Amino acid sequence: MTHIYLDYNASAPLHPDAWAVMEPVLKVQGGAHNASAVHHYGRAGRKIVEDARRHVAQLVGADVNQVIFNSGATEGNNTVLRHFSETYADEVILVSSIEHPSVLEGLEAHGRIQCVPVDGDGRIRLDALEEMLSGEGKVSLLSCMAVNNETGVIQDIASLSALAHRHGALFHCDATQAAGRIPVDMKALGIDFLTLSSHKIGGPQGVGALVLGLCGQTPKLLFGGGQEKSTRAGTENVAGIAGFGAAAGAVLAGLEDYQGLAALRDRLEVELKAISPEIIIHSKDALRVVNTSFFSLAGANAQSMLMALDLEGIAVSNGSACSSGSVKPSITLKAMGQSAEIASSALRVSIGWDTKEGDIDAFLSAWTKIYSRIKVG
Ligand code: PMP
């Protein structure tokens, strides 16, 4: 059976440009390029890391010295949120109610986290935010994602950061699902801390970056060696960073062409609606990235649907797969005010650089089969 992968928001397949730079790194000396070593191999490793840093900086409109490589977006988010919860223990931290768990969880000890609500389409409510910023207690940080991993909704980052700054707070943006899909210019958007993950843009897993703005603060999570100018200890993952850099270069060069995926996504949604008229396509009226479609068939159980699609050779997701592999109701849909039934029946199709028209055909024919079974049953 051929397997069709439509789960790019969970992890994108490795881009050929990434593999092309990773393969030689992994082969030479078993990949033993400790980029801090003074010998020939160390110097070669250093050059690879610095080339990649240039590509990642360009992707988000930053300077090379603003980019700190780390293990991915979970680490980036933890680093920033933990820094603010410890350094400004008496101040309020505001996060949107649809953030990734790596932003929302683990801060119970802080006790002064407040969630900014979203509207029915999943847009962060600027009116509510303004009120919260003007409320009691000084706010140290506002953390909002640029693009939601489940709905694909693009947030108004420039307005969010401007509001935060007007009230004396700094602004953190998890741009994991935005990079390579929409233009991201840190300076123009007023971002003080930006989180990136390699494997969402066609690089390898286990690598990412925290990009610092110009506010002068440097949050740190790991201590030990003096890597990354003493901002993030631990031997650099040279092959991973090489792949991340190449993927960053590829997605930036392909940003315009990427928008062509809208035709595939829109066709998918039109035909889904024709096959199953009662389907709800979430956030259809909001500005979304072109690769994501998130929908619910009320009454259908997401886990059963995922398994049925998998048996037909189609890999999709419910939007918020957790590490145990089990399926939980969508956090984002609950925040958007949807019922438990709708939040438990949501499925996400997310496409990318290797998706073809035929993949959408295959999804639709599997969907037709499964849908008619549900209707008969
Ligand atoms: N933030 C968002 C918006 C994400 O979608 C993800 C991945 N699901 C993460 C953070 C965590 O990324 P990583 O896998 O690099 O830790």
> Whose Cα sits closest to atom 9 in ligand 1?
73
Tell the CATH topology of 4-14+257-376.
Aspartate Aminotransferase, domain 1 (3.90.1150)
CA distance 141 to 25: 39
322 is catalytic: yes
Report whether pLDDT(367) > 80: yes
**What is the model's pLDDT at position 348?**
97
Closest by Cα among 180, 177, 122 to 153: 122
Report whether pLDDT(18) > 90: yes
**Best mutation site among 7, 81, 97, 102 for ligand 1, i.e. most ligand atoms within 8 A of its Cβ?**
102
> Whose Cα sits closest to atom 12 in ligand 1?
73
Residues with Cβ within 8 Å of 49's Cβ and at least 6 positions away in sequence, in order, are: 35, 69, 236, 238, 241, 242
What sign results for the dihedral spanned by CA atoms 331, 333, 339, 342?
A: negative
Residue 320 Cβ inside 6 Å of ligand 1? The answer reads no
**Best mutation site among 79, 97, 149, 237 for ligand 1, i.e. most ligand atoms within 8 A of its Cβ?**
149
What count of residues does the chain have?
377
pTM: 0.96
SS3 content of the chain, % helix, strand, coil (to 5): 45, 15, 40
Q: What is the signed CA dihedral for 247, 253, 254, 259, rounded to 10 degrees?
A: 120
Residue 73 Cβ inside 6 Å of ligand 1? The answer reads yes
Would you kindly state where each structural domain of the chain is located, as residue ranges?
4-14+257-376, 16-253
Catalytic residue among 144, 173, 215, 322: 322
Confidence bin at 1 (pLDDT 50/70/90): confident
Q: What is the domain class of 16-253 according to CATH? A: alpha beta
Q: What percent of the chain has pLDDT over 90?
A: 85
**What is the model's pLDDT at position 318?**
86
CA distance 353 to 252: 12
